[in-house]
Amino acid sequence: MLGFTSQIPIVWLLLLLLSTTIFERCNSSNTQLGISNCNEKDRSALLLFKLGVENHSSNKLSSWSINEKNCCSWKGVQCDNITGRVTTLDLHQQYLEGEINLQSLFQIEFLTYLDLSLNGFTTLSSFNQSNDHNNNNLSNIQYLDLSFNDDLHLDNLHWLSKFSSLKSLNLSQINLQNQTNWLQSIDMLHVSLLELRLSSCHLTDIFASVKHVSFTNSLATLDLSANHFDSELPAWLFEHGNDMNISHIDLSFNFLKGQIPKSLLSLRKLETLRLSNNELNESIPDWLGQHENLKYLGLAENMFRGSIPSSLGKLSSLVDLSVSSDFLTGNIPTSIGKLFNLKSLVIGGSSLSGVLSEIHFSNLSSLETLVLSAPISFDMDSKWIPPFQLNGISLSNTILGPKFPTWIYTQRSLEYLEIPNSRVSSIDGDIFWRFVTNITHLNLSNNSMSADLSNVTLNSELLFMDHNNFRGGLPHISANVIYLDLSHNSFFGTISPMFCHRLGRENSLDYLDISFNLLTGEIPDCWEYWKGLSFLFMESNMLTGEVPPSMDLFIDLIILDLHNNSLSGNFSLDLSNITNLQFINIGENNFSGTVPVKMPRSMEVMILRSNQFEGNIPPQLCNFSSLIQLDLSHNKLSGSIPKCISNITGMGGAKKTSHYPFEFKLYTKGRDLEYYDYGLLRTLDLSANNLSGEIPSQVFNLVQLKSLNLSRNHFTGKIPRDIGDMKNLESLDLSDNKLVGGIPVTTSTLSFLSFLNLSNNYLVGQIPVGTQLQSFDASYYVGNPGLCGAPLPICDHGSYLHGGHNDIDNDENSFTQSLYFGLGVGFAVGFWCICGPLFLNSAWRHTYFRFLNNVFVVVGFSN
């Protein structure tokens, strides 16, 4: 009995421990299920943060409700399973905007992980000095990511001093251009920082001369890519040598110059070194081959000289190697073939030479990507089977041809194949097209391939086949094709077989270019099958007839180019509902009628030159406020320029425009020039019409114009002095009109003016003195007999007076003309007041003559 009673406390103790364990497990389970409530202080801090967040479009924070007590179940919030305290806030890519209220977030005492990246925050509020004593808990933050909030500008980083436990900091794609002491601010984190990412932050100073930075003692990853560093590689990065833990360095896409310092060799733990897209020069150091741990080496797009060192073949751990410079010479070393771990090889340089053989690839069994861009040739046995299976091949600007190499046919896993400008002229038709049918991205541009594609069906998603000698009818395309460029070939016949053939399912075609071929016939009326097209280029063929009605069915069309064909009739398409349309070029055809105005208000470029349009310039064009280029030249337009033209704010004020990389020609500066980005230009061309009247002053309110051409019309009046406000003007042509008066002095202030033609008008006076105006050829002033001064003959006194020295910029000219006019009127009035009665009244006339007779008698008597 005694023994039994002595065991009771032990039993109770075991029961107590068991119940405690069960309770903790239940509590943990409940927390995981979102049953238990989070800490009230944490919850209040989160709600305070939410007040500054704008989330109207996506409503991603709808779960952050006052009515929901358990904040651990809120979007992006994670809590400790036992304590219920918030430890993680991950709201990356939630389309949030507004303010990041750090002061509220860091009231969350146990927060260690904060990710607000890939949002649209514009403001960050940090800490008031008066509240510093409340922020001691900030030392718990270990991971902070605010990257890719593109509109977030930070003027200082002083607030980082509170993060004594920070291990990872990512501020990439945040504007830090006003932060002049960023390195010092980061250096305050030296105790624990392992990862620092400040890519694309508009930083300009890398503090190259600073020799000691404390945070590099612990740092493992440093990413300062895509900034504006214009100096040598920084000394502080290599100061500690063997004591440094750094293993990943990315300084690519800057303006770094000089040579790679040998102190880099002391970073024995280095695994990644990315220095691509800089201006590094001298030679690629041979000692790089001693970095036995190096896995990623990026040296592409620099200014290295000399040869590629063979020592790179000793980097047996290398997985990714990229080397290119237009100043590299010599052969590609065969030692590259020893890199058995290599997965990606990129080598380029316009001055490299030599021959690639099987030895260069002998041990590259792991290779997945091969990119070569250099005038090197290939010497492979026709039966050679490479030791690798590649995912991608790019052999641009090589001497691969004339025959397409057979070893490429052995690559059965290819996702992309690029051989532009590689001198290939011969392909084995059926074998080649069957081989490429499953390749997603195929680029054959700028070769001399000659084949009839009438019976070929193209299946790749992205197809670049321009600038070849492909012939026959247009090929068939599958529903998979998204991008197709067949321009600059010799395709002939009609385009109906391609466009009027129903596919098995809805097509994916977004971009189509069949320009610069020999295509004939009418445009078929079956565009309802291709409503998803965004880019359509059909210029420079021999297409005839009218534009079919179904072409207004496009939903997503952005660019339409039909110029330089033989199309005719009224351009009556109603494109006003194609809200994405921004560029249209129907110039150099035979369209007639009035200028088409059924366009969306978002239009940015309208090129209608060299047609038969007639009538007045429609005032509806003034409603297209986004226009940055308008070309109505070489038509039959008459009347005056509408004064509402100043409403086209795209030409008059600063405005963001679209930028699409495609080649187009524009007549400016007296000739056709090629451009590749229309968004950089502002032009107005009304030349070679029958326009008349004075040039309205509103034209000169379009101060963003770079080119203004009003030549070969019948404009009268003077050149307003307001032309001096067009500070961006690069080309001005007012020739072959009937303009009078002087050249305004303000014209000499147009500092960007590189082309000026004022010939064949009635301009007078001295050409204003200025560097710009005297630099133009005299032929651009001829046909104005009253003009003088360099580059024309020097003004003599008479011509100077005749021209009135440009009438002192037309204002004094107006005064002088008014004065002369007043004197003339006064003389006429006085003359007729005295002489009129003599002519009309005989009594007055007799009295006047008697008076003169008496005067003469008196004069004669006195003599």
563-617 pLDDT, tens per residue?
Answer: 999 999 999 899 999 999 999 999 999 999 999 999 998 899 999 999 999 999 9
Strand partners, 559: 535, 583
Q: Is the separation of the CB atoms in 467 and 443 below 8 Å?
A: no
Q: What are phi and psi of 317, to 5 degrees?
A: -85, -5
Q: Is the separation of the CB atoms in 623 and 645 below 8 Å?
A: no
Please give the Cα distance from 776 to 755 (Å, whole number).
7
Dihedral through CA 618, CA 596, CA 706, CA 610, nearest 10? -110
Strand partners, 299: 323
Q: Largest Cα–Cα distance in the chain?
A: 181
Surface-to-core class of residue 217, CB atoms within 10 Å of its CB (0-12 exposed, 13-18 middle, 19+ buried)? middle
Peptide bond before 524: cis, by omega within 30 degrees of 0? no
Residue 106, pLDDT score: 81
Please give the Cα distance from 302 to 323 (Å, whole number).
8
Name the residue with higher pLDDT: 28 or 531. Answer: 531
Angle at CA of residue 88, ends 82 and 93, nearest 5°: 145
Q: Give the best-scoring range by mean pLDDT among 154-168, 215-229, 790-804.
A: 215-229
65-92 pLDDT, tens digit per residue, is 888 889 999 999 999 998 999 999 999 9
Please give the Cα distance from 114 to 77 (Å, whole number).
10
- Joined together, the tokens standing for residue 425 give 């002229």
- Joined together, the tokens standing for residue 647 give 């409403």
Strand partners, 666: 673
Average pLDDT, the chain: 85
Please give the Cα distance from 516 to 562 (Å, whole number).
11
Strand duo 120-125 + 441-443: pairing: unpaired
Q: Is the separation of the CB atoms in 609 and 631 below 8 Å?
A: yes
Q: In what order do the strands lie in the sheet with 714-716?
A: 471-472, 490-493, 518-522, 542-545, 566-570, 590-593, 612-616, 636-639, 690-694, 714-716
- Indicate the helix (H) or strand (E) that contains 49: helix 40-51
User: Is the pLDDT reported for residue 365 higher than 90?
Assistant: yes
pTM flag (> 0.95):
no
Residue 504, pLDDT score: 63
| Closest C-alpha among 670, 666, 633 to residue 777 | 670
Surface-to-core class of residue 637, CB atoms within 10 Å of its CB (0-12 exposed, 13-18 middle, 19+ buried)? buried
828: pLDDT confidence band, cut at 50, 70 and 90?
very low
Which CATH number applies to 11-152? 3.80.10.10
Please give the Cα distance from 203 to 845 (Å, whole number).
95
- Joined together, the tokens standing for residue 704 give 């963003």
585-596 pLDDT, tens digit per residue, is 999 999 999 999
Residue 797, pLDDT score: 57
Q: Is the separation of the CB atoms in 582 and 558 below 8 Å?
A: yes
Contacts of residue 272, defined as CB under 8 A and 6 or more positions apart, other chains included, come to 247, 248, 249, 250, 294, 295, 296
Average pLDDT over residues 297-324: 97
Q: In what order do the strands lie in the sheet with 740-741?
A: 740-741, 762-766, 786-788
| Closest C-alpha among 306, 299, 307 to residue 278 | 299
Residue 774, pLDDT score: 87
Please give the Cα distance from 569 to 814 (Å, whole number).
48
Give CA separation, 495 vs 365, 537, 791, in Å.
46, 13, 54
Strand duo 86-90 + 77-79: pairing: antiparallel
Give CA separation, 306 vs 286, 310, 352, 376, in Å.
11, 12, 10, 17
Please give the Cα distance from 607 to 675 (Å, whole number).
14
Dihedral through CA 639, CA 645, CA 651, CA 656, nearest 10? -130
480-511 pLDDT, tens digit per residue, is 999 999 999 999 999 998 888 776 677 899 99
| Closest C-alpha among 731, 651, 734 to residue 691 | 734
User: Is the pLDDT reported for residue 355 higher than 90?
Assistant: yes
Please give the Cα distance from 486 to 402 (Å, whole number).
21
Report the length, in residues, of the chain: 863
Please give the Cα distance from 761 to 739 (Å, whole number).
5
Q: Is the separation of the CB atoms in 64 and 46 below 8 Å?
A: yes
Placement of tokens 């070849």 in the chain: 468
Average pLDDT over residues 402-430: 94
Residue 552, pLDDT score: 87
Q: Of all residues in the chain, what percent are helix, strand and coil, respectively (each to 5)?
A: 25, 25, 50
Q: Is the separation of the CB atoms in 124 and 102 below 8 Å?
A: yes
748-792 pLDDT, tens digit per residue, is 888 899 999 999 999 999 999 876 788 889 999 999 999 999 999
Placement of tokens 């009418």 in the chain: 522
Q: Is the separation of the CB atoms in 328 and 303 below 8 Å?
A: no
Contacts of residue 114, defined as CB under 8 A and 6 or more positions apart, other chains included, come to 88, 89, 105, 141, 143, 144, 145
Residue 803, pLDDT score: 41
- Could you give the residue ranges of the DSSP H alpha helices within 131-233? 182-187
Count of other CB atoms within 10 angstroms of residue 280: 23
User: Is the pLDDT reported for residue 443 higher than 60?
Assistant: yes
Please give the Cα distance from 549 to 414 (Å, whole number).
42
DSSP structure string for 744-798: PGGGGG-TT--EEE--SSEEEEEPPP-HHHHTS-GGGTTT-TEEESTTSPPP-HH
9: pLDDT confidence band, cut at 50, 70 and 90?
very low
Strand partners, 718: 740
